């Protein structure tokens, strides 16, 4: 999964996706969960990705191109499989999130950066 998959359509126009705007791409581990919003926090849901810093998880890596980060992403996805054993998918009411590899343009950060508002 990558940050562009959840980007805001009002963001800057697309440039070459293989060239980072920040100068580098970071491949890291994120905890993918659903958060609720609206009246009583149950009217709508959105995806969240929290940066995971844990010595038991695969280490983040820095890449000059998105292609290089995507090649490393497959290996990280395999390394994360044992960490997701026994975890429910994010759409389950029993879910506490699943660990996913995430490609960031620049430094890792919580996504979405701004909580969505639907009114």
In a domain, 76, yes or no: yes
H/E element holding 72? helix 66-80
Q: Considering its fold, how many domains does the chain have in total?
A: 1
Residue 101 belongs to a domain: yes
Q: How much is the pTM?
A: 0.79
User: Is 118 contained in some domain?
Assistant: no
Measure Cα distances from 26 to 35, 37, 58, 82, 96 in Å. Answer: 24, 29, 13, 22, 24
Q: d(Cα 110, Cα 48) in Å, to the nearest integer? A: 7
Give the pLDDT of the chain (119 residues) as one tens digit per residue.
655 555 554 555 567 777 888 889 999 999 999 987 766 655 778 899 999 999 999 999 999 999 999 999 999 999 999 999 999 999 998 999 999 999 999 999 999 988 777 66
Q: Which domain holds residue 27?
A: 3-7+20-105
- Tens-place pLDDT, residues 85-104: 999 999 998 999 999 999 99
Q: pLDDT at position 29, please?
A: 98
- What single-letter DSSP state applies at residue 58? P
Q: Give yes or no for a cis peptide into 112 (omega within 30° of 0).
A: yes
Q: How many CB atoms lie within 10 A of CB 77?
A: 15
Q: How far, in Å, CA of 52 to CA of 26, rounded?
A: 13
């Amino acid at each position: 999964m990558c940050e562009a998959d959840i980007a805001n359509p009002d963001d800057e126009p697309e440039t070459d996706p293989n060239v980072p705007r920040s100068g580098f791409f970071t491949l890291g581990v994120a905890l993918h969960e659903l958060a609720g919003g609206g009246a009583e926090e149950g009217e709508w849901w959105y995806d969240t990705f929290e940066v995971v810093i844990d010595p038991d998880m695969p280490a983040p890596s820095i890449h000059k191109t998105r292609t290089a980060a995507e090649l490393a992403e497959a290996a990280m996805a395999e390394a994360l499989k044992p960490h997701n054993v026994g975890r429910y998918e994010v759409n389950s009411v029993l879910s506490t999130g699943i660990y996913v590899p995430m490609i960031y343009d620049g430094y890792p950060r919580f996504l979405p950066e701004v909580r969505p508002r639907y009114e």
